[in-house]
Amino acid sequence: MNDDCAAFVTTHWSVVLTAQGRSPAADEALEKLCRTYWWPLYGFVRRSGYKPEEAQDLTQGFFALLLERRDLDVVRRERGRLRSYLLVSLKNFVGKARRREMAVKRGKGQPLVPLHELVARERADLEPADILTADRIYQRRWALTLLEQVLERLEFEYRSAGNGRLFDRLKELLSDEPGRQSQAEIAAELGMNENAVKQAFHRLRQRYRELLRDEIAQTVAVPGDVEDELRHFISVLQT
């Protein structure tokens, strides 16, 4: 393994590798993993025909098993993609639950995400769930969750530097939502010239791309997979 690959494994694949051990750092890494993928995996279970309470139980049971066994070593460094691994593992878990008519008992551990939060988010979800497959819902929620994390990191950086108001305005330019302010309107509101806003938005967009790449890099095993996952991320959001 060359130095670049070794550095990549140390800095980006650590969210998985660290989770294999028993330590406060491993617990934190695995909890982050669970919180990141809870909503996408819960969506898959719901679309598979389970009611909210049943879907929560199954999703919670899946992550409880993951936390207990810590069998992430099956994700090989040379080919592992966390997105695919977790979905395949969940399908196996749900399939076994169905075949054995197994119901995960409620109250075994505190759910990472309360049911009322899941239901509220589900009601606010604008996805045309009636025409999306369970796999498609998982992929879309994976991409949206990733996008949320990138924007949260970006916002934290701007607010920490005292540029929260600038972030609030420039963030609107990242979307294609109708009625968004123009750069000229933002410049007038913030007391800046339009060229300064243009440059500020260029820096924000560049940093956004860097953070997006970094987030994706944390879920693949080798550097060569990052570009493929980026393309997959874009295709999921565009379709």
Please state, as a whole number, how many other Cβ atoms lie within 10 Å of the Cβ of residue 69. 9
Indicate the pLDDT class of residue 72, thresholds 50, 70 and 90: low
Q: Tens digits of per-residue pLDDT, 203-232?
A: 999 999 999 998 888 888 777 788 888 999
Count of residues for the chain? 239
Q: What is the total count of domains within the chain?
A: 1
Q: Tens digits of per-residue pLDDT, 3-15?
A: 444 444 444 556 6
Provide the mean pLDDT of the chain. 78
Return the percent helix, strand and coil in the chain, to nearest 5.
75, 0, 25
Range of the domain at 206: 3-238
Indicate the pLDDT class of residue 94, thresholds 50, 70 and 90: confident
Mean pLDDT of 85-105: 73
What does each C-alpha distance from 99 to 61, 75, 93, 96, 135 come to in angstroms? Answer: 16, 25, 10, 5, 20
Q: How far apart are CA 10 and CA 17, in angstroms?
A: 9
At residue 3, the pLDDT reads 47
